Chains A and B, each alone.
Chain A
Amino acid sequence: MIHRYDVIVVGAGGAGLMAALYASRGARTAVISKLYPTRSHTGAAQGGIGAALGNMEEDHPEWHVFDTIKGSDYLADQDAVKILCEEAVGMVYELEHMGLPFDRTPDGRIAQRPFGGHTNNATQQPVRRACHAADRTGHMILQTVYQQCIKNNVAFFDEYQVIDLLVNDAGQVAGVTALHIDSGELYTFHAKATIFATGGFGRIWKITSNAYALTGDGVAAAYRRGIPLEDMEFYQFHPTGILGLGILLTEGVRGEGGVLINGEGERFMPRYAPTVKDLASRDVVSRSIYLEVRAGRGIGGKDYVYLDVRTDTVNKYFAQDDVKNPDGSPRRITAQDIRRKLPDISDFCKTYLQLDPVRSPLPIQPTAHYAMGGIPTNNNAEVIIDAANTVMPGFYAAGECACVSVHGANRLGTNSLVDILVFGRRAGQNAAAYAGRADWPALPAAPQEPARAALEAIRSGNGREVVAQIRTDLRALMMDNVGVFRTADMLNEALDKLRDLKDRFSRISIMDKGKRWNTELLEAWELGCMLDLAEATAVAALTRTESRGAHFREDFPERDDANWLKHSLVYLESDGQIRMDTRPVVLGLYEPARRVY
């Protein structure tokens, strides 16, 4: 069965919906998503969207640009960052015009809070740049953009799992093959332009903030079709996940004054980041937590620390640091402020920890959170396939699955929400324009055959290996060997074990042989994607013999601009071999400098 649309968008989070909203204004557009759109993981974003509105205090897009580049450890492409930060301001206004219920200042403007790595460039102090709707900003963005898609009659194919990217003999992308989860039937979606907005792949790590859905299917589908993946070694661990569960506690908790406390009762971040302390960028804070734990200063000597947002603690450090309100008065908080500004966080802590954050410190540990790397694109969200920036005709990507690169080696908090909307919009606009001038790309011969064969191999497998066990082993391996601290030995061991896991994966069997709603089949297929991306990540991490941003090699602890101020590209060759290449970083605004917070 075939559907034809000028533009198809795969994924219905913020990037996909924004792309669809804009594409639908100029082209016949459909969104394909394995979830109902409102289930997408954009909805889990909490603290805010960064934009230099300057509503609370002086701020400038140029400061946002500098902070993002510094946060990226100078690996971000600076022209892309400029677009991100300049378009952020208009994007936040556009969201407000769409109806997004931002919190407000007393004079009715959009309220903003401090976030890690966002600073007043003159004073180096944290700046209020994160525009927020309580601690459910992502939920509001997802809802609002979905509402606009409904208003504009965007077509949705909900609960369709994309299995394969269709590339024809001319090297054009011609659409996708997707499994209709309800019927179990395969559909060909033939399109002039295909936009991937499929999100990340945090599920390959044991402790993660990511939803079950985030198995990297879109990224893997592109990789398997010979498209390289960029900067896969850079994966962000968010400092404050709930112990054991990985559920995110927003950086907004620290934005509101919360601090990290070790087993000796010490606020330790000033030792690592003397100026912005607990609001250093995420890579720095996560490493600091690990170093405290390693030095035996975890809580009770264990592998976690406390996030403390009790009012006595917060007000003590506000007084010590002489923190001021916008009007110059000393900043203080009450328990009521915390409950009002962080209601969902309070709810998570009560539900999962049986703790009230205004009464008890919260046990936290770093949690796998965000892929800086992904499908390489240029600033028009067109997918590029080599160091010469060759465009893959008809293929676009935006959001976490893509690598523009605006985040470089480490993303600043709030910038993913900017990224999905700014580059989602660009993907939609450019895909629609392309569809307007391009002819229909030919479909490859027997377009559904590879997807059908892949699923059939799983369905008919009769080995003894268990999908859930391989998945558990994979996630533990990635956490232990390809986490915050890495060495060549750890990574080589990971690659050996990954080969073993892949071998076991070839010998799985599943119980559900049916067609309708066969989620066991889909979970097995997703595990294949996870294994491929884990391997790409480990190979890229082994290749980069330096430490930069989120990628920390204990055997190469320094940043090495002479050799490594460049993006990596990892290719899966048709013979199954993995090949690495690089492409240059776009500089032009700020020369790389030592990074101190």
Chain B
Amino acid sequence: MKVKVKVRRFNPEKDRRPYWREYKLEVQPTDRVLDLLVQIKGYQDGTLTFRRSCAHGICGSDAMVINGRNRLACKELVKDVGRTIVIEPLRGLPVIKDLAVDMAPFFRKYRSILPFLINDEQPPYSERLQSPAARERFDDTTKCILCAACTTSCPSFWANDSYVGPAAIVQAHRFIFDDRDQGAQARLAILAEADGVWRCRTIYNCVEACPRDIDITTAIGEVKKAMLVE
């Protein structure tokens, strides 16, 4: 089938402002949107710039705005997005070139919530025991691949880019509700600050954006609740 792909382009070495460029190509309905970008880059326009790696929704490289929604280009099939496909870089992060945005601010937020197990007790020689129920408690938030689709879909983040954002809260949740971790208070204190969880207005864009189907708003709600209990 024939499709039109409209891409928002920007080359920092040439362009003063972004512009739209349209490509026509012949594709299969089961092709991934990423396949289209690869085809354009390979055979029509080598200057088209985007990140990609695993191409099956695990590495988190290719989050972008596809027909207005934050999606991984490798998990969207042509048959589900129609014959005109409009692609833009993620919103709220500085555009470097075409679809590649500056991820450094995103990873700084991730680092700010102490994203590592905190437990200073001497562990046993073998594994610490953890019940299947305790393991299940934080399972959903372990799925996060740090693609930034959620944070860059969040109007609270667009309005104020100092907001820590849903992805960082998801990562904090993964540790706060792990019964092996002892850093909950430190993380909750960080998230209680002005740019923490209370900037979340429960808009649910993040849930709709997450390619891993993480129930992000629920996770944020659980973090808020834990804060009130503390």
Interface set, chain A 84-134, CB cutoff 8 A to B: 92-93, 96-99, 101-110, 133-134
Contact residues in A for B49 (Cβ distance below 8 Å): 512, 517-519
Q: For B116, give its contact among A38, A41, A151 (CB under 8 Å).
A: A151
Q: Would you call A466 and B111 a contact (CB within 8 A)?
A: no
**Which of B120-128, B155-163, B190-198, B219-227 sits within the interface?**
B120-128
Closest A residue by C-beta to B124: A93
Given known A43-B59, A211-B59, contact A35–B53 (CB-CB < 8 A): yes
Q: Given the complex of chains A and B, what is the CA–CA distance between A98 and B180 in angstroms?
A: 10
Mark B49-77 against chain A: 1 for CB-CB distance below 8 A, else 0. Answer: 11111111111110000000000000101
Given known A468-B43, A517-B49, contact A101–B178 (CB-CB < 8 A): yes
Q: Would you call A140 and B47 a contact (CB within 8 A)?
A: no
Q: For B56, give its contact among A97, A348, A471 (CB under 8 Å).
A: A348
Q: For A101, give its contact among B42, B126, B138 (CB under 8 Å).
A: B138
A264 CB → nearest B CB, Å:
27
Asked whether A136 is an interface residue with its Cβ less than 8 Å from the other chain, the reply is: yes
Q: Given the complex of chains A and B, what is the CA–CA distance between A145 and B85 in angstroms?
A: 38
Asked whether A168 is an interface residue with its Cβ less than 8 Å from the other chain, the reply is: no
Given known A99-B181, A133-B142, contact A517–B125 (CB-CB < 8 A): no
Interface set, chain A 482-528, CB cutoff 8 A to B: 510-512, 514-520, 523
* Interface of B: prevailing SS: loop
Q: Would you call A99 and B129 a contact (CB within 8 A)?
A: no
Asked whether A590 is an interface residue with its Cβ less than 8 Å from the other chain, the reply is: no
Closest B residue by C-beta to A152: B116
Q: Would you call B127 and A109 a contact (CB within 8 A)?
A: yes
Q: Would you call B111 and A150 a contact (CB within 8 A)?
A: yes
Given known A108-B129, A148-B116, A212-B53, contact A38–B59 (CB-CB < 8 A): yes
Q: Given the complex of chains A and B, what is the CA–CA distance between A410 and B135 in angstroms?
A: 34
Closest A residue by C-beta to B97: A517
Mark A36-51 against chain B: 1 for CB-CB distance below 8 A, else 0. Answer: 1011110110000000
Interface set, chain B 134-168, CB cutoff 8 A to A: 135, 138-139, 142-143, 145-146
A335 CB → nearest B CB, Å:
18
Asked whether B2 is an interface residue with its Cβ less than 8 Å from the other chain, the reply is: no
Q: Given the complex of chains A and B, what is the CA–CA distance between A468 and B125 in angstroms?
A: 52
Interface centre among A109, A133, A512, A518 (most CB of B within 10 A): A512
6 closest residue pairs by CB, A with B: A468-B42, A99-B117, A108-B129, A511-B46, A147-B116, A520-B46
Interface residue ranges, B against A (CB under 8 Å) = 11-14, 30, 41-43, 45-47, 49-61, 75, 77, 96-98, 100, 103, 107, 111, 115-117, 119, 123, 125-132, 135, 138-139, 142-143, 145-146, 175, 178, 180-181, 213
